[in-house]
Amino acid sequence: MKPAGFEAGRRYPLLLNVHGGPHAHYGYPFFDEFQVQCGAGYGVLYANPRGSQGYGEAFTAAVVGDWGGGDAADVEAALDEALRRFDWIDPERLGLIGGSYGGFMTSWIVGHSKRFRVACSERAVNVQTSMFGTSDIGYLFNQVELGGVLPWEDFGKYVERSPLTYAKDITTPLLILHSEDDLRCPIEQGEQLFVALKTLRREVVFVRFPDENHELTRSGKPRHRLERFRILLEWFARYLRPA
């Protein structure tokens, strides 16, 4: 999606959005997130990497046991293709954002890639081991998504597929957003990555929303949803300088 007021011949910053799920998908209806980002002067890129619905059962199941593998490669391939097709995208002003599983992907990618100037990880899965026992669905969800193994059967798998494990490799400025009443991805998921990055003296900001849950961006209090947009736009503008 082009930014509002697009002018040919100019270059614009881009925000790459990764959806949650992982078994969900982006479509074509009006979406307030993308409209706000475009309205603020950003190009918006969104794609359906493996694990997404809408492309058959095998494609949807391809991510099971491989979080951060082929799915991350697909996200970066989408960016590569967008840069190849559209010369109005400034490759020096790339931002990354995602929530829930998309938050996992954001935390994971910045721990494995340096191509994004700034990122925002929301309500993310950052520590598979602790989410197993603290999330309202962790005991089942994490087991299934990690290939059907339990922590005491293959603890190393849980550690290997946790963004926290790669915190030492994160140098991208990171905004972490989380809701205090989130039972799906409990707030300790955000706290653990924040504390790790602060200990490492990385550029990180942690914003906690009181009286909100995993659905903040969709059904949260209007004042909190507005405040979230303000925080997001101020964070990305600091590094990407939209018009």
Give the chain as a 3 state SS string. CCCCCCCCCCCEEEEEEECCCCCCCCCCCCCHHHHHHHHCCCEEEECCCCCCCCCCHHHHHCCCCCCCCHHHHHHHHHHHHHHHHCCCEEEEEEEEEEECHHHHHHHHHHCCCCCCCEEEEECCCCCHHHHHHHCCCHHHHHHHHCCCCCCCCCHHHHHHCCHHHHHHHCCCCEEEEEECCCCCCCCHHHHHHHHHHHHCCCCEEEEEECCCCCCHHHHCCHHHHHHHHHHHHHHHHHHHCCC
Give the C-alpha separation, 242 to 44, whole Å: 12
Confidence at residue 236, expressed as pLDDT on a 0 to 100 scale: 98
Taking only the tens place, the pLDDT of each residue in 171-204 is: 999 999 999 999 999 999 999 999 999 999 999 9
Q: How confident is the model at residue 243 (pLDDT cuts 50, 70, 90)?
A: confident
52 catalytically annotated? no
What is the reported pLDDT for 3? 98
Catalytic residue among 19, 52, 178, 214: 214
CATH superfamily of 12-240: Alpha/Beta hydrolase fold, catalytic domain (3.40.50.1820)
C-beta of residue 131 within 8 angstroms of C-beta of residue 125? yes
The per-residue pLDDT for range 108-118, each reduced to its tens digit, is 999 999 999 99
Mean pLDDT of 130-152: 97
Of the residues 19, 52, 100, 130, only one is catalytic, namely: 100
User: Domains of the chain: which residue ranges?
Assistant: 12-240
pLDDT one-digit tens code per residue, 5-56: 999 999 999 999 999 999 999 999 999 999 999 999 999 999 999 999 999 9
Distances (CA, A) of 85 to 18, 37, 78, 79: 20, 21, 11, 10
Band (pLDDT 50/70/90 cuts) for residue 103 is very high
pLDDT tier for residue 100 given thresholds of 50, 70 and 90: very high
pTM: 0.97
pLDDT of amino acid 141: 97
Place of tokens 């009443």: 181
- Rg over CA atoms, the chain: 17
Tell me if the bond preceding 22 is cis, omega within 30° of 0. Answer: yes
**Residue 67: strand pairing partners:** none
What is the arithmetic mean of pLDDT over 124-135? 98
Residue 214 bears catalytic tag: yes
